Amino acid sequence: MAQAASSVEVIRDAGRVKAMLPTLRRRILESLREPDSAAGLSRRLGIPRQKVNYHVRRLEDAGLVELVEQRRKRGCMERMLRITSRSFLISPAVLEGLSVDPEDVQDRFSSAYLMSAASRIVRDVSVLRERAARARRKLVTMTLEADVALASPAELSGFSRELGDALARLVAKSHKPEAPGSRRYRFMLNGHPIITKPDTKEEP
């Protein structure tokens, strides 16, 4: 029997992205969070089994669906399938030369820089995850997150300044590039308003 599906998988191949784009295939992927057969999917989705089989095969070829087990039912061999990950994230690397790079954005206080830096994190960490998996080693990461209610733009400015100063002091204290066995880590502090309304075309 296959191992439990991972919590998140980063898709770095354009062919795999293409395989999951059709609406029906995404419905099938969502339905396969728990193991099911093509016959079961056909009943649940109200779609002919032959059509379900075709799309399931394409998803299986792309490595998005995996065989969990085979069992005999009414004289036939039933294939139980499951999505390979509980959720997926598309890496900016799929866009190759069209992906954004923080070095191309001049204003570090702009939303464009924030998004480009975040996309670099997705791209780099996905590579590191794959390397760690091949080496059968754990990838060491950390995430610090806090929600802060600030009363005014002046308070936001002051908070950002103090946070930057604290980081600079800590880096000066801890940065030891010449120490034997040292490894470089990237820490990124960012801030943005919290979404409090449903996503609409109206102004934020």
184 found inside a domain? no
Question: How high is the pLDDT of residue 201?
Answer: 59
If one counts the domains in the chain, the total is 2
Tell me if 77 is assigned to some domain: yes
pLDDT tens-digit readout, 11-61? 988 999 999 999 999 999 999 999 999 999 999 999 999 999 999 999 999
Cα angle value 149/161/177 (rounded, 5°): 120
Whether residues 77 and 98 share a domain: the answer is: no
CB under 8 Å to 156, separation ≥6 — which residues? 150, 191
Asked, for residue 198, whether it belongs to a domain, the answer is no
Query: Which of the residues in the chain have pLDDT under 50?
Result: 1-2, 204
Is the whole model's pTM more than 0.75, yes or no?
no
For 167, the 3-state DSSP assignment is: helix
User: Is-contact 194 147, C-beta < 8 A?
Assistant: yes
Report residue 63 as tokens. Answer: 């490595």
Domain residues for 32? Answer: 9-88
Same domain, 73 and 110: no
Distance (Å) of CA 136 to CA 124, 129, 131, 133, 155: 18, 10, 8, 5, 46
| pLDDT at residue 3, rounded to an integer | 53
**Is 30 within a domain?**
yes
Based on the fold, state whether residues 98 and 84 are members of the same structural domain: no
Question: Is residue 26 a part of any domain in this protein?
Answer: yes
